[in-house]
Structure 1
Amino acid sequence: MTSESEIDPTVRILAADGTIAPSETAERYLPLIDALSDAELEQFYRDMVGVRAFDRQATLLQRQGQLALWPPSQGQEAAQVGSARAARPQDHLFPSYREHVVCTIRGVDPVDIIKLMRGVSHGGWDPTDPKNGNTHIYTLVLGSQTLHSTGYAMGMAFDGRSGTGDPEKDEAVIVYYGDGASSQGDVHEAMVFAASYQTPQVFFLQNNHWAISVPVATQSRVPLADRAAGYGMPSIRVDGNDVLASYAVSKVALDEARSGLGPRAIEAVTYRMGAHTTSDDPTKYRTSDEEQSWIARDPITRMRAFLEGRGASEEFFAQVDAEAAELAADVRTRTTQLQAPTPESMFAHVYSDPHPLMDEQRQWLADYEASFGEEA
């Protein structure tokens, strides 16, 4: 008999070879997977392939001087796609800076992400614009988005926007952060307030094993999911390279948070296949053997094998590849057409309402530029 301590607590539905091989902790989630249609399962795959093509194109654009910086997401597609597809339209999503597919699933134009990394936009996109699906802007300050999301979730609770018993109207928040950010004080402060106020919120931690060059084993002697227990917050560990498991676990957690049961925490165990950002060299701190072991667990390869086993046609896979290539080409074309912002744009959106200080500074700049007169 297997003791409870010997049971792998990680929720896994798909094995690395794409076969259905649920872990013991995954049994309760299988009905959610059975309820998915072929079209929904194929959409998971389409999302992952598309964002990888976008991600690679953006990396090339940075190498060619078109972007100041790029944070690759290769390897983390399943964790992001599953969780984003589990959210309802009324939910609010708070990414960090690597959740490219989370944003595009919700409606954000991928070139708006490019604008931010190119330095021609202050925020990238307007989170209040309905077309962006309640997706809040990237934050490069590690962990700060957890505070933003907790404050927003507290407001939801105060306003009665969750826990009413109406699943079509009740709202929840999901916030994304990494293993490195999990050691930041902001994250723990956010969890204190979330637990205290029982916010309708899911903390989605992507454990990609490296906080730039610091391995996760240095940061924590226990699974990162266990940290939530210190705040009285239910948590679960999921195979982050299994898009089905990520979807099911996120759906349950969001449903529970939305219904008024308080915050939940998810640790998605995945791997950052690329560099931390394009200014990083991962060969300085990790081995080729480690990378190869994770390539064997690639989330896209795994999902493709699963779909092939269900009878998906070669025509479908060819169509997805063509769509992804078209997306990448479109991003390249539109990136090279981007214009630099005007100097006056620096005064926009500093305050939520018109402010005399901004008017004064805008006028000073205009007068200063006018003082040079016409060019000879």
Structure 2
Amino acid sequence: MASSVHFPGAVNSKFTTDLAFEQPSTHPAMPTYRVMDSDGIIVDESRKPSDISNEEILKWYKNMLTGTGPPAIVSIMDLIMFDAQRQGRLSFYMVSAGEEGIAIGSASALFPKDVIFCQYRETGVFQQRGFALSDFMNQLFANGKDNGKGRNMPVHYGSSKLNIHTISSTLATQIPQAAGAAYALKIQALQNPNMVPRIVACYFGEGAASEGDFHAALNIAATRSCPVVFICRNNGYAISTPTLEQYRGDGIASRGIGYGIDTIRVDGNDIFAVREVTKEARRMALENGGKPILIEAMSYRVSHHSTSDDSFAYRAKVEVEDWKRRDNPITRLRKWMEHQGLWDDEMEKEARSQIRKDVLKAFAQAEKEKRAPLRDMFTDVYEDLSEESKVQMKELGRLLDEYPGEYDVSEFEGGRKGLDEPAEQ
């Protein structure tokens, strides 16, 4: 008599005569991996970081460095840009407070050629890969030096040079795109065995994991064995919706197991743990032709969702203050560095002062730059301008000429130039 199921949909499932439904309560919650505790102490000396130089760790810290001192949790650039939005000098902004360790730690383990899809709280990923302060500011002010020619909302960065796809506002669309890109890399590797192996890293929040795109992406990545590392930032809130109202299962990690994906949960406030987990996930993703990996990084969103949000309308201020005092990735790393004799109060003061000067300098320069030429609104959609676009461009020029007092085009490079005769693409 057969002792296990051989149906195509449930291979190696053992037969039983017990009529019992599986219940979540009978399974323990997935553990959370960490290297150091909230006091910056290495929990297991055998796991202490040994493959990272002190110089690299100092670079991480400066990339994450916070604002005006404890218990502030908002980074210097975030603080300045948040205030700029409130002053009307910027239309929109999103901060990364409380999640800096996830971005910096994971990005430090990726290779330059790896392809990245971000959501909108991965400023640290861009910083770690070499996105300059001027690049951030040019995008935020949508000026003529912006890589995207001022066509996108603020905080929607992108860089082909750094192999980071442009961020999209539409929630979760980057997840299936990442699975598809990883499948393309897999095919390329099969066609060219001498190609340097690379993966796709995809970032998203636990709120995005409620979208259908998440499930479709994980399923196709699993069935097609795509070399992609999915990195979920579980920060407790999807805008105003807490996790208790988002799902009843064991976080997002349990879903990876359901799709047959190797999965791990990590302390997102522990930059060493995040780096180590991502480094191992990258190695595993390239094994035997490729496979997907899911990382659930646990954190807490200290800041408001965006400048359009007041989080104290749906959560208690004392809750946020408690997290600020209790644990955050920047303070934890600073404590570790102080234990090692790598950092002190004087170095902290000097670093904060210099970073603030650098941010303000880039801010002032970007704010003065003119916007991209008006004709750029019509270019780059198709290889050649469509007839409809040519008509629209000419009509815009006519309206500007007819109502010069209604439309000030002096802030655009070249004014209305190029609207009558479409430029070469």
TM range (shorter): 0.7 to 0.9
* Pairwise CA RMSD: 2.7
What is the rounded CA distance, in whole Å, between the counterparts of 2:374 and 2:131 in structure 1?
A: 25
- Aligned in 2, Cα 1:197/1:52: closer, same or farther, shift over 3 Å? same
1:340 aligns with 2:371: yes
Residue 78 of structure 1 is aligned with which of 77, 94, 101?
A: 101
What is the rounded CA distance, in whole Å, between the counterparts of 2:216 and 2:29 in structure 1?
A: 32
1:304 aligns with 2:331: no
Residue 354 of structure 2 is aligned with which of 296, 307, 323?
A: 323
Partner secondary structure for residue 331 of structure 2? helix
Q: How far apart are 1:176 and its partner, in Å?
A: 0.7
1:212 aligns with 2:239: yes
Q: Is the 8 A contact 1:106 1:135 kept in 2?
A: no
Q: How far apart are 1:373 and its partner, in Å?
A: 8.7
Q: How far apart are 1:338 and its partner, in Å?
A: 3.4
1:275 aligns with 2:304: yes
Q: How far apart are 1:344 and its partner, in Å?
A: 1.3
Which residue matches 1:136? 165
What is the rounded CA distance, in whole Å, between the counterparts of 2:321 and 2:243 in structure 1?
A: 18
Q: Is the 8 A contact 2:101 2:274 kept in 1?
A: yes
Q: Is the 8 A contact 1:61 1:332 kept in 2?
A: no
Q: Is the 8 A contact 1:163 1:258 kept in 2?
A: no
Partner secondary structure for residue 160 of structure 1? helix
Which residue matches 1:185? 212
Per mean C-alpha deviation after superposition, the further-off stretch among 228-237 and 283-292 is 283-292
Partner secondary structure for residue 205 of structure 1? strand
Q: Is the 8 A contact 1:162 1:258 kept in 2?
A: no
Per mean C-alpha deviation after superposition, the further-off stretch among 351-360 and 173-182 is 351-360
- Aligned in 2, Cα 1:63/1:202: closer, same or farther, shift over 3 Å? same
1:36 aligns with 2:58: no
**Which ranges in structure 2 are unaligned for 5 or more consecutive residues?**
1-25, 67-73, 144-149, 407-425
**Which ranges in structure 1 are unaligned for 5 or more consecutive residues?**
none
Q: How far apart are 1:126 and its partner, in Å?
A: 5.6
Q: Is the 8 A contact 1:91 1:134 kept in 2?
A: yes
Q: Is the 8 A contact 1:163 1:170 kept in 2?
A: no
Percent of pairs identical after alignment? 31
- Aligned in 2, Cα 1:257/1:135: closer, same or farther, shift over 3 Å? same
Q: Is the 8 A contact 2:105 2:275 kept in 1?
A: yes
Q: Is the 8 A contact 1:93 1:136 kept in 2?
A: yes
Residue 145 of structure 1 is aligned with which of 155, 174, 192?
A: 174
Q: How far apart are 1:15 and its partner, in Å?
A: 0.6
Q: Is the 8 A contact 1:161 1:170 kept in 2?
A: no
Residue 198 of structure 1 is aligned with which of 221, 225, 247?
A: 225
What is the rounded CA distance, in whole Å, between the counterparts of 1:286 and 1:153 in structure 2?
A: 38
AA partner of residue 300 (structure 1)? I
Q: Structure 2-normalised TM-score? A: 0.78
Q: Structure 1-normalised TM-score? A: 0.87
Q: Is the 8 A contact 1:67 1:114 kept in 2?
A: no
Q: How far apart are 1:339 and its partner, in Å?
A: 2.5
What is the rounded CA distance, in whole Å, between the counterparts of 1:56 and 1:374 in structure 2?
A: 37
1:232 aligns with 2:254: no
Q: Is the 8 A contact 1:162 1:171 kept in 2?
A: no
Partner secondary structure for residue 358 of structure 1? helix
Which residue matches 1:53? 76
- Aligned in 2, Cα 1:277/1:6: closer, same or farther, shift over 3 Å? same
Per mean C-alpha deviation after superposition, the further-off stretch among 342-351 and 246-255 is 342-351
Q: Is the 8 A contact 1:54 1:327 kept in 2?
A: no
Residue 252 of structure 1 is aligned with which of 261, 280, 283?
A: 280
Q: How far apart are 1:359 and its partner, in Å?
A: 3.5
Q: Is the 8 A contact 2:133 2:359 kept in 1?
A: no
Residue 12 of structure 1 is aligned with which of 1, 15, 34?
A: 34
Which residue matches 2:413? none
Q: How far apart are 1:362 and its partner, in Å?
A: 2.6
Name whichever structure is richer in helix by fraction.
Answer: 1
Q: Is the 8 A contact 1:203 1:265 kept in 2?
A: yes
Q: Which has the higher contact order (CA 8 A, sep 6+)?
A: 1
What is the rounded CA distance, in whole Å, between the counterparts of 1:102 and 1:177 in structure 2?
A: 13
What is the rounded CA distance, in whole Å, between the counterparts of 2:85 and 2:190 in structure 1?
A: 41
AA partner of residue 269 (structure 2)? N
Q: Is the 8 A contact 2:268 2:297 kept in 1?
A: yes
Q: Is the 8 A contact 1:162 1:172 kept in 2?
A: no
Partner secondary structure for residue 86 of structure 1? coil
> Greater CA radius of gyration, 1 or 2?
2
1:172 aligns with 2:199: yes
